[in-house]
Amino acid sequence: MTTIETEPDLSSSPAPVPHPLPESLDAALRRRLTSLVAHSADAPPVTMRAPFSGLELAELPQSTDADVRAAAERGRSAHHEWAARSVADRAAVFLRLHDLVLDHRDELMDLVQAENGKARRDAFLEVGDIAITCRYYARTAPAALAPVRRGGLIPGLTSVQERRHPKGVVTVISPWNYPLSLAAGDTIPALLAGNAVVQKADNQTALTALFMLDLARQAGVPDDLWQVVLGRGSAIGDALLDVADYVMFTGSTESGRRIAREAGERLVDCSLELGGKNAMLVLDDADLDRTVEGAVRACFSSSGQLCISIERLYVADAIHDEFVRRFVAAVAGLTMGATYDFSAQMGSLTSADQVEAVQAHVDDAVAKGATVLHGGRPRPDLGPFFYEPTVLTDVVDGMECFREETFGPVVAIQRVSGDDEAVHLANDTRYGLNASVWSRSRARGTAVAARLRAGTVNVNEAYAAAWGSIDAPMGGMGDSGLGRRHGVGGLLKYTEAQTIARQRLFNLAPPLERLGDEGFAEVMTTSLRLLKRIGWR
């Protein structure tokens, strides 16, 4: 039995607090969105609640194993007609979706906040991210998916063409922490490549995925081409992998390993973005004003529930004390709140499970000698799952938060003697997802970045520069995953490459009987030497 991720358990939520849902998310909209789930009446529904308040968000229908398989069959039928359409025609659909996303910016931000609990400024970044994704792949796909001429065996006589065909049915398994970016961001290139998508959205943030599904259908995506199923991994995990011609998964390293094993057994390819224990290196020539602001965003955006957020800060000895003073003051000045406007800089965690996990890491560190410079406690006065942004020092090996991902608003600061020690400590991890380097020197910052074992490294930025530069690949090394999203590779991974070679005039065999195999070998040897001499590839 395959288990794909443990979803937040809100069944034991504290009593609701008075943070009403925005008017845009009325009961009629929520009912309409839940009607889009691919499901039968066999599985009991699940009630999900808003992290800000504990108020009921939706009663979500749950899909069964049979529902997943039926959705895949419908998708497989729909994908043949979709793939037969020109790439330019498919791209036009996603340019329309780009506009719809921006037109519905406020409703999308409301949904992301209501389901996840993050601050509005963080929710807006997800809206912008999906608009960029639509535009980039719509503009890129026609050229990237067009047939390409390749060099042939014999110049002028062997013509070769590379073609790209869609995989078929892509299973996308998206998490709760970035309900818009990670639900739609991986689906868009899969669809543009000509595939159908069966997506398992997380129950906690299913309405956001369903809202995007609704917008996509308004833009022209056929009804059966993108379908959303809901359910625990223990109930539908096997079916999700059985129906897949490709698997795109974002989640924990443990679940990623299981998916990779089972995909390998079926000889199905997969892309996995997994955990991170990301480091920021503050070199002794860093601009402290810029660095402190960037470090606060790096550590506490989306309340730290971000795979590429920073959990380790290595600060050069020469500026350590001044940096810490400014950083702690900036963290203490963060505005927390359960607001559906831009007045709060940091929102809530998403579930009781998250609060408990964060508190366990902090308590363990303190019990073993760590010092809390700020934070370190829940804030139930603000809402059920609020937790203060927390800064630790004196964190050493043996503490849970030293090597394991906290996935919350907690960062540990460590003094380092110089660049070499900072690089060594940053690389001393089984993860390798994201990193950040701060230096006034372009050459020095880039040189240090190149020494880090991480899939993306930002110089003088936290994470947004690399993530938002969607033309470049994004993904992890080590236990942070396999494969990449973004860039042309993030589109082509959803395709099968086919080589078509056409031979002219004569077969690839001795052309004259009297030449024979030995004579043919001599002629070919001379030809190969000539091709090298003239610079032929």
Residues annotated catalytic, as ranges = 273, 307
Question: Residues with Cβ < 8 Å from 259, sequence gap 6 or more?
Answer: 2, 4, 173, 241, 247, 249, 270, 272
3-state SS track over 55-104 = CEEEEEEECCHHHHHHHHHHHHHHHHHHHHCCHHHHHHHHHHHHHHHHHC
CA 451 → CA 265, 423, 448, distances in Å?
Answer: 35, 7, 5
Q: What distance in Å separates the CA atoms of residue 376 and residue 186, rounded to the nearest whole number?
A: 35
Where b means 16+ CB within 10 Å and e means fewer, 428-455 reads ebebbbbbbbbbeeeebbeebbebbbbb
Q: What distance in Å separates the CA atoms of residue 233 and residue 248, rounded to the nearest whole number?
A: 15
Q: What distance in Å separates the CA atoms of residue 123 and residue 135, rounded to the nearest whole number?
A: 19
Cα distance from N-terminal residue to C-terminal residue, the chain: 49
Strand extents, DSSP E, 94-205: 148-150, 158-166, 169-173, 196-200
Question: How many CB atoms neighbour CB 11 within 10 A?
Answer: 10
**Beta bridge partner(s), residue 457:** 435
Question: Residues with Cβ < 8 Å from 230, sequence gap 6 or more?
Answer: 37, 39, 46, 60, 61, 62, 63, 200, 201, 203, 206
CA 457 → CA 44, 64, 363, 461, distances in Å?
Answer: 44, 41, 31, 9
Q: What are phi and psi of 469, to 5 degrees?
A: -85, 75
Residue whose pair of structure tokens reads 């030449």 in the numeric block? 515
CA 10 → CA 46, 47, 226, 375, distances in Å?
Answer: 10, 9, 28, 24
Q: What distance in Å separates the CA atoms of residue 442 and residue 356, rounded to the nearest whole number?
A: 41
Element (H, E) at 497: strand 495-503
Helix axes 233-242, 253-265, angle to 10 degrees: 40
Q: What distance in Å separates the CA atoms of residue 296 and residue 290, rounded to the nearest whole number?
A: 10
Residue whose pair of structure tokens reads 């810490």 in the numeric block? 324
